[in-house]
Structure 1
Amino acid sequence: MRYISTRGGIAPIPFAEAVMMGLATDGGLLLPEKLPTVSLAEIVGWRDLAYPELAVTVLRHFIDDIPPAELTRLVRRSYTGFNHPEITPIVAHGDCHILELFHGPTLAFKDIALQLLGNLFEYLLAASGDRMNILGATSGDTGSAAIYGVRGKERINIFILHPYGRISPIQEKQMTTVLDANVFNIAIRGTFDDGQAIVKKLFNDIPFKEQYQLGAINSINWARILAQVVYYVYAALRLTEAQPGEGGRLSPGSQVDHANRVSQVNQTNQASHANQAGRANQVGHVSGVNQVDFAVPTGNFGDIFAGFVARRLLPGLIGRLILATNENNLLTRFVQAGDYSVSAVRPTSSPSMDIQVASNFERYLYYLNGEDPQRTRQEMEDFIRTGSLRFNPERLAQIQADFVAQSADEAATLATIRNFYRDHGYLLDPHSAVGVYAALACRRPNIPLVCLATAHPAKFGAAVAAATGRPPALPPALAKLADQESRCQVLAAEPGVIKDFVIRHAL
């Protein structure tokens, strides 16, 4: 498997080089030369795999330059710190199957990719003898997940930018209380989009990037997307039955009743919702079902693009990809009206989606353009110059064949948290609530609907309390942050200022 740029300016490279390159040297994003597809006959052998084994199986379709035994070791190591044996359990509530992606060390979905990426970096740097200075921007959860993924690792320093005063207090504390010598937290006086623009500008400074061996841990790094593909595959296989050609039908998975679930979780003190009233059963295969829809809260287009890749990988098993945004609805406007135009960022209770420039959009644009790198390059240059792209009816029809979309304003987000808790006794964080709102607006009859729960609600306690009248209980991992020492630099949102700081502290 070789990797190319969306802008066509680099020769094909192996996976290991793609991981270390992050952003392509021509300014584009890296993708496989060809997205793989697996046969129904092959899928039958995947259905009973545990999450780590399934991850290795999926990753090997995209990675052929890391020995299988090493890849298996890296994957297993990446998920040993998760506090649920299934890694990404699924629980059913009403019309939604909630895919819980928050059981990692920072209680957010980004742990799933960043624990793996940190271990990949360490493995590849040890093999080459090189060093790396990671530079990234976060709108909330990426920063802490990235920091926890590489803290204390040799040959790596990490510099994370976050918008000053625009992330939740817990998100900030999760980052700034990590005092390892290789971790540098920077609060910029600006927005997440400002931070993302600074990161892209510095990565496009090729002499600077090469001298200081910059590495990318944002979702511009292909390995981030690839790791997220796995949980789409996992959920689709859990909820669909064997299809003709797979060796017959599979029986429903085991069900765990509410009382046993509550007892188990209270005993193990997991950071799950299982101790809430009205906990629904964990689920297995749904009788008679051969396709699953997914609702995905997204701001950067990365998580839903992973779903796009997973749908290509599993022909027929994944149906609708429902794109959910908050009031910063650039991507919803793109899907509904073919309007990809930047507007001012509005602060919301779901800050990880307070984004107006989606860094992974270019990957999808490449496929929308029929894998034409020249057209993709030209359109991205036009967008950078004008802040706007418009798509004609023919191209809009293709977009709407790939995605449906819905946005939720603040009132709808809080109402969804409140109503879901009232009806099911289950707390959603604001990002997950945006996804559930879109899911319920776009659901199809008789098709299982998977809603991605991207963060533990305790990370956004103020919003949850405003919606329900009660703050969520803090898991121990978050409760202990209040009394811990913090370290952070507050700097201007200017590329030169950030560049100088990196130079002074780089390996």
Structure 2
Amino acid sequence: MKYISTRHSSQGAGETLTFEEVMLAGLARDGGLYLPLEWPRLSTAEWSAMRGLPYNEVALRVMRPFVAGTFDEDEFARLVADSYRTFESPEVAPLKPLGDSGLHLLELFHGPTLAFKDVALQLLGRMLEVRLAARNRRAVIVGATSGDTGSAAIEAVRGKRAIDIFMMHPFGRVSEVQRRQMTTVMAPNVHNIAVRSTFDDCQDLAKACFADLAFRDRHSLTAVNSINFARVMAQIVYYAWAALRLGAPDRPVAFSVPTGNFGNVYAGYAAACMGLPISHFVVATNRNDILARVLADGTMATAVVEPSLSPSMDIQISSNFERLLFDLYGRDGKALAAAMQSFRATGKLALGEAGFSSLRRLFDGDRCDDEETVSAIADCHKRYGEVLDPHTAIGYAAAKRNRRDPAIPMVVLATAHPAKFPDAVERAIGRRPELPGRLADLMDRAERVDGLTNDVAALKRMIDERMSAVQPARAPRR
């Protein structure tokens, strides 16, 4: 399997990388995002043969084409088994019907940090550790989180000798549970940073570090945000898992996906590119609705980020949308690079008629404000006895409003445990959900976090100083 950047033509067409190179790099050196040169397509017979298999086996069969040449089958099977052994549910991602409505909840919050990010990051952390050891290298992860990626990434790499992680979150714009899941980790390789700005600015700070090639090479920077294709790859699996349980490949399935950065729903698009029969996706957003707006009128235009009850989606620059744009631009990396440069300068990008028509064939968009979110939590609890977190509630509300064909089952991705957002849940159903046992004492744990303004020079100084102090002590064993 070979990979290219979405902006590959801007530095010379034809440059390809291996999965290992893509995983360790995170973001392409030309500023683009990596994706396969060609999507592997599975036959109807290959999809059918997966029905009834446990999650781990489906994962191996779906991901095998992507990692070929980097991991042999036995080694990769061990990594997958070790990753999902950390999940509370033996199914990894249980699928629950909501009565006879035709809607189903795909519970993706049974991992260590109670969010869907664990599904990919538990595996990514292990893959990074193995390949860094093989190269006798260490790496520095620089990342930004709107809430859940940070804790999942920290949990995946805490205590690893060859990896340090610098994770930024927007100060005061994540829930207390989300913050504490990050800031109460005292492992010496974990560095939490609260930035007095928005998630979009945090993400820009991370990208600026990668854009400084000398700094990037000095610290062997890598990424664990969904800009890293390895994240997308691991998330493809649960789309296949859910669809197979609902009758695929003999029948199509639809998905409603709460998303801000477009990474989660892009993994579903990747599954469709591999031949999984998906009728359409509902892109469910909160009041920060850039994705819903581009799906309504074909124009991607930024706006001011507004805090909401669903903070993980408080985003106005959806990085992963660039991967979809690459296909909409006919995989012309040079044209896309110019378009993205213009978008960063003007805050606006208009799709042509053909691109917009292609986009709408597979995607619908919707949005919920906070009141609609609370109402959706209350409605699902009253009708089906299920308590949803606010992000999942948006996916649920959007699913109900955007079923193209009632005969086609619709899967709502349940992206986080409701206990991560107790204030929103209490507002909807009158009681606060309890944290699972593994986090029962979270509110009593000490915190450690650094503050920072929106200043890339200050961020680089912090990383330089920390790494100059710790690298000799934590150099990989020879």
Q: How does 1:235-246 map to 2 (within 5 A)?
A: 235-240=242-247, 243=250
Q: Check conservation: 1:187, 1:490, Cα contact below 8 A.
A: yes
SS of residue paired to 2:65: coil
Q: Is residue 2:396 matched to residue 1:391?
A: no
Identity %: 47
CA distance in 1, matches of 2:248, 2:219: 50
* Amino acid corresponding to residue 16 of structure 2 in structure 1: P
Partner of 1:276: none
Alignment of 1:9-20 (within 5 A): 9=11, 11-20=15-24
1:25-424 alignment to 2 at 5 Å? 25-65=29-69, 66-94=71-99, 95=101, 96-240=103-247, 243=250, 290-315=251-276, 317-424=277-384
Is the 2:262–2:318 contact (alpha carbons within 8 Å) kept by the matching residues of 1? yes
Change (3 A) 1:241 1:160: closer
Q: Deviations over 1:153-189 (max 9, x none)?
A: 1210000000111100000010001000100000011
Q: Is 1:21 the counterpart of 2:25 in the alignment?
A: yes
Q: Which runs of 5+ in 2 are unaligned?
A: 472-478
Superposed CA offset, 1:389-419 (max 9, x none): 0123332111101201111111111100011
Superposition map of 1:433-444 within 5 A: 433-443=393-403, 444=405
Q: Is the 8 A contact 1:170 1:478 kept in 2?
A: no
Q: CA deviation at 1:44?
A: 2.1
Instruction: Give every structure 1 segment of 4 or more consecutive aligned residues whose post-TM-superposition deviation is greater than 6 Å.
Output: none
Q: Which amino acid aligns with 2:167?
A: I
> Quick check: 1:233–1:314 contact (8 Å CA) kept in 2?
no
Which of residues 396, 409, 416 in structure 2 aligns to 1:455?
Answer: 416
Displacement of 1:49 after TM fit? Answer: 1.7
Displacement of 1:241 in angstroms is 5.4
- Report Cα offsets for 1:356-377 as digits up to 9, x if no partner: 0001111011001111111111
Which amino acid in 1 is paired with 2:7? R
TM-superposed deviation, 1:81? 0.6
Q: Tell me the TM-score normalised to structure 2 length.
A: 0.95
* Matches of 2:98 and 2:362, distance apart in 1: 26
Equivalent pair of 2:48/2:248 in contact (CA under 8 Å): no
Unpaired runs of 5+ residues, structure 1, are: 244-289
Shift of 1:108: 0.2
Distance in 1 (CA, whole Å) between partners of 2:59 and 2:218 is 34
- Give me the whole-angstrom Cα distance separating, in 1, the residues matched to 2:461 and 2:350: 37
Report the more deviating stretch, 292-301 or 488-497.
Answer: 488-497
- CA displacement at 1:479 relative to structure 2: 2.0
Shift of 1:384: 1.0
Structure 1 Cα separation of the partners of residues 244 and 270 of structure 2: 15
The one-letter amino acid paired with 2:171 is Y
Give the Cα separation in 1 of the matches to 2:388 and 2:248. Answer: 28
Are the counterparts in 2 of residues 110 and 142 from structure 1 also a CA contact under 8 Å?
A: yes
Query: After superposition, what is the alpha-carbon deviation per residue over 1:280-307, rounded to whole angstroms, capped at 9, x for unaligned?
Result: xxxxxxxxxx111000000001000000
Q: Which residue type is aligned with residue 15 of structure 1?
A: F
Q: Distance in 1 between matches of 2:325 and 2:74?
A: 35
TM-score (norm 1): 0.89
1:432 aligns with 2:432: no
1:6 corresponds to 2:6: yes
SS at 1:13 equivalent: coil
Q: Secondary structure of the equivalent of 2:441?
A: helix
User: For residues 441 and 222 of structure 2, what CA distance do their matches in structure 1 show?
Assistant: 31
Deviation at 1:351, TM superposition (A): 0.2
Distance, in Å, in 1 between the alignment partners of 2:198 and 2:335 is 30
Counterpart of 1:328 in 2: which secondary structure? coil
- Indicate yes or no: 2:453 matched with 1:446: no
1:119 and 1:163 mapped to 2: Cα distance?
A: 27
Looking at structure 2, the residues matched to 363 and 312 of structure 1 have their Cα atoms a distance apart, in angstroms, of: 13
Report if the CA contact (8 A) 1:225-1:302 is conserved.
yes
Q: Supply the AA of the counterpart residue of 2:375.
A: A
The whole-number CA distance in structure 1 between the counterparts of 2:255 and 2:124 is 24
Q: Distance in 2 between matches of 1:188 and 1:394?
A: 40
Q: Deviations over 1:198-246 (max 9, x none)?
A: 0011101111000111110111000000000000000010111563xxx
Partner of 1:287: none
Measured after TM superposition, the shift of residue 474 of structure 1 is: 2.0
C-alpha separation between the residues in 2 aligned to 1:241 and 1:2? 28
Q: Secondary structure of 1:165's match?
A: coil
Q: Does the residue aligned with 1:26 lie in a helix, a strand or coil?
A: coil
In 2 relative to 1, CA 363–458 (structure 1 residues): closer, same or farther, beyond 3 Å?
Answer: same
Aligned residues: CA RMSD:
1.0
User: What number of residue pairs does the alignment pair up?
Assistant: 460
